[in-house]
Amino acid sequence: MRTLFTALTLALPLAALAAPSLVEVRVVPPDINLSSKQDSQSVIVQAVYSDSTTRDVTAQAQFSLADKTLARLEKSVVHPVADGKTELTVKFDSKTLTLPVKVEKSAVPLAISFSLDVMPVFTKAGCNTGSCHGSARGKDGFHLSLFGYDHEGDYGKVTRQMLGRRINLALPEESLLLTKSTGAVQHTGGKLLEPKDDLYQTIVRWLEAGAPADAKDTAYVTGVEIFPVQAVLEGSGASQQFTVRAKYSDGSDRDVTKIASFVSNNDVSAKVTKTGLVTADKRGEAFVMARFDAFTVGAQILAIPKESGFSFPQVAEHNYIDTLVHTKLKKIRITPSDVTDDATFLRRVTLDITGLTPSAEDVRAFLADKDAKKRDKKVDELLERPEFTELWVMKFAELLQIRTDNNQFLYKSVLQYYDWLKDQFARNVPMDQLTQELLTAKGGTFSNPAANFYKVETDVLKLSENVAQVFMGMRMQCAQCHNHPFDRWTMNDYYGFAAFFAQVGRKTGEDQRETVVFNRGNGGVRHPVGNRDIPPKFLGMDGGTPAEGQDRREVMAKWLASPQNPFFAKNLANLVWAHFFGKGIVEPVDDVRISNPPSNPELLDELGKRFTDSNYNFKKLVRDICASRTYQLTPKSNELNAEDTRNFAKGTIRRLRAEVLLDVINQVTVTKDKFRGLPVGSRAVEIVDGRTTSYFLTTFGRADRGTVCSCEVKMEPNLSQALHLLNGDTVNNKIQSGGLVAAMTKEGKSNEQIIEEFYWRSLARPPTQTEQTKLAEYFTEAKTPADKAVVLNDVFWAVLNSKEFIFNH
C-alpha cells in the first residue's frame, strides 16, 4: 500500500507531496519495572513521520521478550513470571528498539491498600469531586476529602462513620458503599460502577480483606507520568492510546492507566475515553490531562486534517527561536507571515526596548543603512540605552508592589525601594542574585531597602503566594483549601512552601517609620487537616530542610533562584517573551499550571535553559528574541495563520501601555509632564510610587501596584480612552503647547513637509502619496497662515488619534 502511494506521488513534481517517510519509532514507557504478582505494564508504540504526524502503531508492532521465563506478553502488556532482568524488543517497519524489563517479587501478591487502591477508585468514579462527596460539607451526609487529599480522614468516614453502616465485612457486596455506587439502592449521584468493573472489584477485595487501614509505612505516590507526551494526529478519527504510570516512595511504579481520570480541554479537537484512548476530530490543539492521586499530568494533542499539498516554505531561521517556532508550525501545518519592513521593525523594536518611538532622523538613517546586519546592530544599540532598564524597573516595581500605603508605607521607603531596584538593574545584576537578595533581605528597611519586600506583605500565606506568583508564575491559592484540581499542587506543597516564610520577624526600628526585618528562628504553619506543623519544603521537589538555626528563607532563596528550580528561569523568560510578543508562551504569564500548558513547551524550555546558562543575563535574552525572525514578522496574516493567535506565526498588534503612550505623546509633541518626586520632563515610565497617577494614566489602565497580578496592567480599550484622545486635554493641549507647527513653519517648511515630519516622528514612515493628496485637499479653504496652522494642527491630531499611532504593530 505504502509503495503504491509512493509510486503515485513520484509522478508529481512537488517534493512536498511525497508520502511522508517513517522518521522515528518511540516506545513508551522507556523501561518496564514489575514488582508484584499482579503487576503489569502496557507498552505503547508511536511512529513519527517526516511530516511531523504521529501514529499509534502498537497493534502493528511486533513484540518479543528476550527471556520468556521471566515475563510474558499479552498483546502489548507485559506480565511478570519470575524475578530477573531481560529485554523487550519492539519492531515496526524498518525500526527495532529494545527496552529493559526488570521483574521483582513476582511471587509476592500485592496487599490491598486503602490509599493506593481504594481511594483512586473514588477519584476515578468521581465520588470525591466538589459537586459530590468532595464538597466542603459532603453530600447527603457522606463527606470525602476533595480529590482525596486526606487519606486518614476518608478511611475513618468510610469505615467508622454512620456506625460503620457504609461497609459490611460479612457480606462485602451488601456494603452501602457498593450498593450506592451501582445504583442498587437510591443514589443521588446515580450509577457509577458495574459489579464486573475492576474498580468495583477493587473495593470488594479490600472489603474481603477486612477493610484494613494502611500500615504506617505504606508507600505514597511521588509522581505520575503520561506517555506519549505528544501526538500529532492526522485526520478525524485518528487515535492514540495513552498510558499513565505512577511512581511510589518505595521506588516501585505501577501502570495506573485504568484507574487514572482523563479529561480533554478541547473535545472538539480531541476526545478522550475513560481508559485513555484519544481520538482526533476537528482541526485544533488539545491538552489531555490525566489525574491520579494528587497529581495531574498532561499531553499535547495536535489534530490536523488529512490533506495533501501542505509544504512549509523555505524561510530563514535567524536563531534557535525560529527553529523551535517553525517546528511547531510545521506540525500544525501553518506557515509564518513574512518579515516586516525596516520602518515597522524599527518602530516596533524601539518601542519594545526603550518605550519610545524612533526619531524621524533615526528612521531615515536606518532606512538608508545598507548593512545586512543593521537590525541586529540596532537591537544592540537600543539595549545600551538607559530607557531599556527603566522599562524593566517599572515592570518589577509592579511585581514588587512599590507604592505608598497611608502610614504603613511612606514615600521615603517607596523611593528607597525603587532606587534600590533601579540600581540593581542599572548594574545589570543577574536576576538570580537580585531575587536572592530580596528574598533573604533583613535589617532595617531604611538601611537595606530590599527588606521592604517583607514590609509590603506581612501575611505568611499571602507572602508565599506572592513569591510563587512573581518568581515562578504560579497561582497557589487553590491549594490553600484543597489539592489543586487542575495542577500538581497539594495542600502539603502549599503549606510546605509557606513554612519558609513563617519565621520572618518584624519590629519597629529606632526611627518610628522604619521596620526591621529579622529571623525569629521559631514559628511555623499548620496544615488545616490534622492541624500539624508543616516543615518547609521546596515546591515540586524534595529538599528545603534548613540546618539548625539557619534562616529558612536562605534555604528557599538559594533554591528558588537557581538552576535547580526549573520554574524560575522559565518564568522570567516567559515574562520577557510576553513583553515582546504581547502574549506569553504561557498566558497569562503568572498562571503556570498543568492545565494551562505552554503553547510551545520546547521553546519555553530552551529559553529558560539559555537564560540560565547565560547567568540570567537579561540583555542576552532580549537580544535573542529581537534578533529572531519570529519577532520580526508582519502582523499581516496569510491564509493558514489567520486564525492562529498562540503560535507566534505573525506579528502581534498591541496597544501601547499607559505610561508608554503618554511618554510617546510627549516625545512627538515635544512637551513635558511632571510627576510626584521627579523632575519636570521625566517619563511616566519612571514613576516611583504606584499611587502616583493622572487621569490619562488611569484611563489607559496603568497598574496601581495593588496586587502582584499581571492583570493589573489593563491593555483593553474603553470609551473614556477614545473620548480622551478625541476631546481631552492631553492630545489637544500638547499639540498646542508643543508649538511644533509654528516652529516648522518658521523654518520655512511647506505643508507637505510638515505633514511628512508628523508621519516620520509619530508613525516612523512617510505618508503615502494617497495620504498626501487627500490631506492636501484640506488646505484649499485655508487662506491665511493662521488657517493653515489650524489645518496642520488638525492633521497632527488625526495622526495621534490613529490606531497606527496608538498601537505597536
Binds another protein by CB under 8 A, chosen from 459, 729, 752, 787: 729
Closest CB to another protein among residues 168, 645? 645
| Site membership for another protein, residue 776 (CB under 8 A) | no
**Binding segment toward another protein, per CB under 8 A, in 62-70, 71-79, 198-206, 791-799:** 791-799
What does the block give as the cell for 91? 519492531
| Site membership for another protein, residue 643 (CB under 8 A) | yes
Residue 683 CB, nearest distance to another protein (Å)?
23
Interaction with another protein in 730-759: which residues (CB under 8 A)? 732
Q: Helix or strand or coil: residue 241?
A: strand
Q: Helix or strand or coil: residue 481?
A: coil
**Binding segment toward another protein, per CB under 8 A, in 167-175, 354-362, 540-548, 629-637:** 629-637
| Site membership for another protein, residue 723 (CB under 8 A) | yes
End-to-end CA distance of the chain: 49
Alpha helices in 427-551 (DSSP H): 431-439, 453-456, 460-472, 491-498
| Site membership for another protein, residue 722 (CB under 8 A) | yes
Q: Helix or strand or coil: residue 783?
A: coil
Residue 636 CB, nearest distance to another protein (Å)?
6
Interaction with another protein in 80-139: which residues (CB under 8 A)? 126, 129-132, 134-137, 139
User: Alpha carbon 707 to chain centroid distance?
Assistant: 19
| Site membership for another protein, residue 291 (CB under 8 A) | yes
Site size with another protein, rule: CB under 8 A: 88
Binds another protein by CB under 8 A, chosen from 105, 187, 283, 506: 283
Residue 176 CB, nearest distance to another protein (Å)?
19
Residue 26 CB, nearest distance to another protein (Å)?
24
Binds another protein by CB under 8 A, chosen from 208, 381, 459, 794: 794
Closest CB to another protein among residues 98, 732? 732
Q: What gap in Å lies between CA 116 and CA 248, rounded to an integer?
A: 10
**Binding segment toward another protein, per CB under 8 A, in 94-102, 214-222, 285-293, 493-501:** 285-293
Q: What gap in Å lies between CA 502 and CA 524, rounded to an integer?
A: 5
- The neighbour count for residue 131, using CB atoms within 10 Å, is 9
Closest CB to another protein among residues 61, 329? 329
Binds another protein by CB under 8 A, chosen from 430, 524, 728, 739: 728
Contact 658, 671 (CB under 8 A): no
| Site membership for another protein, residue 42 (CB under 8 A) | no
Closest CB to another protein among residues 29, 767? 767
Residue 753 CB, nearest distance to another protein (Å)?
17
Closest CB to another protein among residues 704, 804? 804
Closest CB to another protein among residues 566, 588? 588
Q: Helix or strand or coil: residue 427?
A: coil
Interaction with another protein in 477-506: which residues (CB under 8 A)? 477-478, 480-481, 485-486
Residue 302 CB, nearest distance to another protein (Å)?
8
Residue 670 CB, nearest distance to another protein (Å)?
20
| Site membership for another protein, residue 789 (CB under 8 A) | no
Q: What gap in Å lies between CA 295 and CA 299, rounded to an integer?
A: 14
Closest-CA residue to 526 (of 550, 502, 548): 502
| Site membership for another protein, residue 230 (CB under 8 A) | no
Using CB atoms within 10 A of its CB, is residue 192 exposed (0-12), middle (13-18) or buried (19+)? buried
What does the block give as the cell for 387? 530607557
Binds another protein by CB under 8 A, chosen from 588, 677, 682, 704: 588
Binds another protein by CB under 8 A, chosen from 278, 339, 656, 795: 795
* Residue 716: partners with Cβ closer than 8 Å, 6 or more residues away: 701
Interaction with another protein in 321-340: which residues (CB under 8 A)? 332, 334
Q: What gap in Å lies between CA 98 and CA 88, rounded to an integer?
A: 5
- The neighbour count for residue 416, using CB atoms within 10 Å, is 21
**Binding segment toward another protein, per CB under 8 A, in 211-219, 427-435, 474-482, 684-692:** 474-482
Q: Helix or strand or coil: residue 78?
A: strand
Q: What is the DSSP letter of 59?
A: T
Q: What gap in Å lies between CA 725 and CA 801, rounded to an integer?
A: 6
| Site membership for another protein, residue 771 (CB under 8 A) | yes
What does the block give as the cell for 176? 452501602
Residue 360 CB, nearest distance to another protein (Å)?
17
Which parts of 57-131 are beta strand (E)?
62-65, 71-74, 77-80, 84-92, 95-103
Q: What gap in Å lies between CA 283 and CA 785, rounded to an integer?
A: 61
| Site membership for another protein, residue 341 (CB under 8 A) | no
Q: Are strands 270-272 and 230-234 parallel, antiparallel or unpaired?
A: unpaired
Closest CB to another protein among residues 9, 652? 652
Residue 137 CB, nearest distance to another protein (Å)?
7
Residue 591 CB, nearest distance to another protein (Å)?
8
Give CA separation, 41 vs 36, 88, 246, 256, 283, in Å: 11, 12, 11, 9, 32
Residue 722 CB, nearest distance to another protein (Å)?
4
Binds another protein by CB under 8 A, chosen from 724, 734, 754, 760: 724
| Site membership for another protein, residue 714 (CB under 8 A) | yes
Closest CB to another protein among residues 67, 771? 771
User: Alpha carbon 523 to chain centroid distance?
Assistant: 33
| Site membership for another protein, residue 153 (CB under 8 A) | no
Closest CB to another protein among residues 449, 597? 597
| Site membership for another protein, residue 580 (CB under 8 A) | no
Q: What gap in Å lies between CA 68 and CA 75, rounded to an integer?
A: 14
Closest CB to another protein among residues 43, 633? 633
The continuous run of DSSP H or E covering 752 comes out as helix 751-763
Q: Is the dihedral of CA 588, 593, 596, 598 positive or negative?
A: positive
| Site membership for another protein, residue 310 (CB under 8 A) | no
Binds another protein by CB under 8 A, chosen from 122, 200, 287, 489: 287
Closest CB to another protein among residues 369, 602? 602
| Site membership for another protein, residue 147 (CB under 8 A) | yes
Closest CB to another protein among residues 228, 582? 582
Contact 178, 172 (CB under 8 A): yes
Cα dihedral 46/47/51/52 (nearest 10): 30
* Residue 586: partners with Cβ closer than 8 Å, 6 or more residues away: 473, 574, 592, 596, 597, 598, 599, 604
Using CB atoms within 10 A of its CB, is residue 297 exposed (0-12), middle (13-18) or buried (19+)? buried
Interaction with another protein in 385-444: which residues (CB under 8 A)? none
Interaction with another protein in 177-196: which residues (CB under 8 A)? 188-189
**Binding segment toward another protein, per CB under 8 A, in 365-373, 435-443, 501-509, 720-728:** 720-728
| Site membership for another protein, residue 282 (CB under 8 A) | yes
Interaction with another protein in 231-270: which residues (CB under 8 A)? 261, 263, 265-269
Using CB atoms within 10 A of its CB, is residue 255 exposed (0-12), middle (13-18) or buried (19+)? buried
Interaction with another protein in 656-695: which residues (CB under 8 A)? 695
Give CA separation, 807 vs 242, 359, 641, 655, 671, in Å: 44, 17, 21, 4, 20
| Site membership for another protein, residue 223 (CB under 8 A) | no
Closest CB to another protein among residues 433, 801? 801
